Amino acid sequence: NVSSKDNLHNLTCEAENQAGPGERMVQLDIEFPVRIIFLNNAVPQHHWCFPFAVDGNPEPNITWLYNGTKLNETRYIYTQPIVDSGDGSEKHGCLFLDKPTHVNNGNYTLIVENKLGRDEATAHGYFMDNPFDNSDGIIPSCPLNTEWRSTCHFICCSHSCPVYVAVGLGVFACKLLLIMVLVVYKCGHHSKFGIHRSSVLGKEDDLAVSLRFMNFGTSPPSSDEDSGLSSFVENPQYFCVQHIKRQDIVLKWELGEGAFGKVYLAECANLSPDNDKMLVAIKTLKDANESTRQDFQREAELLTVLQHQHIVRFYGVCTDGEPLAMVFEYMRHGDLNRFLRAHGPDAHILDESKMPPLGELTLPQMLHIAAQIASGMVYLASLHFVHRDLATRNCLVGEGLVVKIGDFGMSRDIYSTDYYRVGGRTMLPIRWMPPESIMYRKFTTESDIWSFGVVLWEIFTYGKQPWYQLSNSEVGCSGKKHYKIAASPSSLYDVYGILSLSHKYL
């Protein structure tokens, strides 16, 4: 008399005669209906995980439902069995979710079945609050009266409906007048963010925004000089920031977090006439105070004018509600620094297995990467822009080894050791800065050329940290000692000559 508990156990038959003993062992294969031993709610591990265990013979098929609908597994949502669990026929595993967001909140149902039976269980996953939740809206001050419900969707009390209608007509007239004014003065002198134009360029000692208008080699403008900026004629195209409706954005999962706020992968509709939806990167603003709004506006207006094949494309902003958000082109392979490390000689020990298989980068490929970054920087210099934070962490890699310059404001969190804190909140990318920028806060096209030389060294060392043998404070002192960056064994002689030339004092 055997049961499911005896499945996969060994049965030994022993016999003996005058010639000697003998034995033969077989493994029991007992078929029984499948059952779910447990299914727990989602827990944060390296990824979010729904732990489960099932038992059954024949081995059951596993499917998942999300809020009652079949869940299609992808590289970001997948079932992973735990091998060698040592529990006989029991199968342990996890439904993993890689960086889920509020759109993944809900009920997850595990369904298992074999030819002898079927079982199911449900668990709940709550991963994060909805960052676009507008639940704090206006609550009607009187109960709904169906007799007075108008086709204009006003909620009226029977005794005050005429007042609401009058107020509504007045509001409609004001809105119509406002729309006419906006049409006449579209992209004109007034800010779309409710901030005075005089604050667009801001102070140069704030590193919250990487792309800045170059001050033609002079020192940063003082508050007195700022007043003179209004005498410049504004380029109307420069200040035309495209506004994207919040209902056109569907967040998928979080990509990272930095100085401004969190960055999400999302789907966005109505961006291109050729595609109904396209993947984008959404950079949100976590603090909506006046200072951060100014930085947000300044960066949006600066990014709008940048149109180049090697600059990450900026689509526009979403300002109807909180948080404020910027919409960027999505680059599938992420930042260049991780890409270099994942395709270098030490990739097998750096836990970068998520990157697509490409093998170790060759010298022609590295030169191709460097040429694309140089092309983008030449374009920025032609517009009198200074990047001030050029590094491989701020370059992104797309399909076909396409590299583009960008700054999503997230690198200060992911690569915190690359920045040196000065004073209270100022973070300096000191390993990429020339001596005059370290000592005098002077940023020009020439300082970007210095940074490009460091980027070349990063590329040909597969993403190593510049001056890794020195601490940040020692690098800060190197401006006076003139430490020379070491040549990479993999770099060509001519490339190292360009790198050295970029660090030569003129």
Helices (H) and strands (E) in the chain, counts: 10, 22
pLDDT value, residue 296: 81
Helical axes 363-382 vs 445-460, angle rounded to 10°: 170
262 is in an annotated binding site: yes
User: Has residue 281 got a pLDDT over 80?
Assistant: yes
- Residue 262 — pLDDT band, cuts 50, 70, 90? confident
Strands 48-57 and 32-39: antiparallel
Is residue 86 a contact partner of residue 119, using CB atoms and an 8 Å limit? Answer: no
Domain boundaries, the chain: 32-125, 246-329, 334-503
Span of 20-29, 278-287, 329-338 with lowest mean pLDDT: 20-29
pLDDT value, residue 484: 57
Catalytic residue among 295, 389, 418, 448: 389
Smallest CA-to-CA distance from 389 within 428, 353, 350 is with 428
Residue 389 catalytic?
Answer: yes
More confidently predicted of 439 and 61: 61
Fold of the domain spanning 334-503: Transferase(Phosphotransferase); domain 1 (1.10.510)
Residue type, 146: T
Longest dimension (CA), the chain: 115
334 is in an annotated binding site: yes
More confidently predicted of 443 and 250: 250
393 is in an annotated binding site: yes
228 is in an annotated binding site: no
More confidently predicted of 217 and 392: 392
Q: What percent of the chain has pLDDT over 70?
A: 62
257 is in an annotated binding site: yes
263 is in an annotated binding site: yes
Over range 332-342, report the average pLDDT: 89
Integer-rounded Cα Rg, in Å, for the chain is 30
User: Has residue 65 got a pLDDT over 90?
Assistant: yes
pLDDT value, residue 177: 58
259 is in an annotated binding site: yes
215 is in an annotated binding site: no
Distance CA 407, CA 392 (A): 10
More confidently predicted of 477 and 436: 436
More confidently predicted of 414 and 475: 475
- Residue pLDDT, tens place only, 460-475: 989 888 877 777 777 7
256 is in an annotated binding site: yes
- Residue pLDDT, tens place only, 154-169: 333 344 444 454 556 5
159 is in an annotated binding site: no
Where are the alpha helices (H) located in 134-230, listed in sequence order?
Answer: 161-184, 223-226
Span of 145-149, 318-322, 376-380 with lowest mean pLDDT: 145-149
Strands 426-428 and 249-257: unpaired
SS3 397: strand
19 is in an annotated binding site: no
Smallest CA-to-CA distance from 388 within 205, 226, 198 is with 205
Structure tokens at 380: 């920025």
- Helix, strand, coil proportions of the chain in percent (round to 5)? 30, 25, 45
pLDDT value, residue 136: 42
User: Has residue 494 got a pLDDT over 90?
Assistant: no
User: Has residue 299 got a pLDDT over 70?
Assistant: yes
71 is in an annotated binding site: no
- Residue pLDDT, tens place only, 394-404: 899 988 889 99
Q: Architecture of 246-329 per CATH?
A: 2-Layer Sandwich (3.30)
283 is in an annotated binding site: yes
Is residue 499 a contact partner of residue 469, using CB atoms and an 8 Å limit? Answer: no
pLDDT value, residue 107: 96
Model pTM above 0.85: no
333 is in an annotated binding site: yes
- CATH homologous superfamily for the domain 32-125: Immunoglobulins (2.60.40.10)
